[in-house]
Structure 1
Amino acid sequence: MAVTERIIFQPYIWGKPKRGGPQLELGTPILCWSVEEGRRRIDKVAAGSTSMAGAILVSMEVDEDAGDYGEPKILERVGDVPEVED
């Protein structure tokens, strides 16, 4: 199989409060058909029309047959998300 690009929408939600207040938790990642679909999801989070704390849109090259997964590239981030290097 050839190398393909995967677009992943990674939501973050507020978890139950722990010491020091509520904690960010990973939501269920969503595999998108296209960058445009992922951006529509990001736009909904930015508009406040979801209960998500924030989200990251990631692109990654994958060769599933070989088990090779490239470095993720952050395309967009919105809201409350952990700090990560681009």
Structure 2
Amino acid sequence: MPKIRRRNLPPALLHHLLDRIRSREISSDQLGLLAEWLDTEPEVPNERWFKRFPAMIVCGEGELVKTFLTANQTPTGNEIS
């Protein structure tokens, strides 16, 4: 199983993620929790996955984080812990 890629993201994806952080008003506290989780170098499935945080949901596919949802939006894929 791959680990989440934290460097060399495609520019369009990086811009999308930054836009979602702004438009969905993701707090710095939530981003801090995400950073702590990423520091553990979690393994993720090759297919679509998501990880719940108290006020947001991180969605990805394989090694890439693809988007951020608010806690009341519905993710698709396999939930990871």
Choose between structure 1 and 2: higher strand proportion: 1
State which structure, 1 or 2, has the greater radius of gyration over its C-alpha atoms.
1
Could you tell me the TM-score, scaled by structure 2's length? 0.28
